[in-house]
Amino acid sequence: METRNHVETIKQLQVRPDVVRSATRPTHSIIVMSGKGGVGKSTISANLAVSLSLNGYNVGILDADLTSPSVPRLLGLTGNIEVEENQLVPVSYSDKLKVLSTGFLVPSPDHAIIWRGGMKMGAIRQFINETKWGALDFLVVDLPPGTGDEPLSIVQELQPDGALIVTTPQEVALVSSRKSIDFARKVEVPIIGIVENMSGYTCPTCGTQVAIFKSGGGERSAKELDVPFIVRIPLDSTICESGDSGKPISENGATAPCASESSNLITQSVLRFYDAKEKVKTENEEVMR
């Protein structure tokens, strides 16, 4: 294996903006979107990827938030991206889960990644087309928030077959998440559903429920826009702790049963979505025969 340091790998990304589409594509690819940052999109992406891998699938997670990568921290991973036969080698979380993030290209998490548009687009193309993912059942892509250049480039390169939308319940986040839904519709990526995160808080001492960011807005949006609603996840300090300590809830359910149940519901919704898709595909193939 050819081992390069992060500077060499970054240089390689800079000089190879146009890459050839590799033959190996994941069976299913999911983009995880949010209108705004800080709503828990990366937390949900990381937990979904771990959970799918624990269900026996071969999974890749692409941290496409190129300038603010958080997946390595959330999964407790460090490492370098190696280059083998001109392909990037993702870092392994387990036998079943591989991770690619610009977080593995910098010497420390405090190191700023300052990339212009063209550089980012080149990196995205290379991450998707020139990475040794191996045969993947699922590629989960944690998109940067919003509907700008990176989400568009990823959709064009990857042609994902499902989008998961994460929002928090307050109006300022909902307006942006409705834009994500509009974006997914315009680029013809079917929507798996909406997750309403940080929805209410139960005081651990007195049990009082407080809707800090309000509650129910994601579900209302889902109804209005005719999109499946998946689950409300409350504000829960164990979710934050698990992210900070790099021990995903979907792997350590006993520490946070409520959050772990929500994580399971998201995984089940994703699996149902793809089952239904496969059924339609098989039926269409039978009709064509």
Enumerate binding residues for ligand ADP (CB under 6 A). 34, 37-43, 70, 197-198, 233, 235-236, 239-240, 243
- Name which of 19 and 165 has its Cβ closer to ligand ADP: 165
In whole angstroms, the minimum distance from the beta carbon of 66 to ligand ADP comes to 13
Count of alpha carbons within 13 Å of 44, Cβ hemisphere only? Answer: 33
Nearest approach, Cβ of 257 to ligand ADP (angstroms)?
14
Report in angstroms how near the CB of residue 165 gets to ligand ADP at its nearest.
Answer: 11
Nearest to ligand ADP of 82, 219 (CB atom): 219
Residue of 258, 248, 257 whose CA lies nearest to 43:
248
Residue 242, token pair as written in the block? 């698990």
Cβ at position 238, least distance to ligand ADP in Å: 8
The residue sitting closest to ligand ADP, measured at its beta carbon, is: 243
- The nearest distance, CB 273 to ligand ADP, in angstroms, is 21
Q: For residue 102, what is the DSSP state?
A: G
Give the residue with the Cβ less far from ligand ADP, 74 or 121: 74
Could you tell me the two tokens for 282? 């098989």
Distance separating alpha carbons of residues 77 and 260, to the nearest angstrom: 21
Helix (H, G, I), strand (E, B) or coil at 161: coil
Q: Find tokens 């990644």 and name the residue.
A: 113
Residue with tokens 């993030």: 101
71 versus 189: smaller Cβ distance to ligand ADP:
71
Q: CB-wise, 244 or 283, nearer to ligand ADP?
A: 244
Q: How many CA atoms lie within 13 A of 168 on its CB side?
A: 19
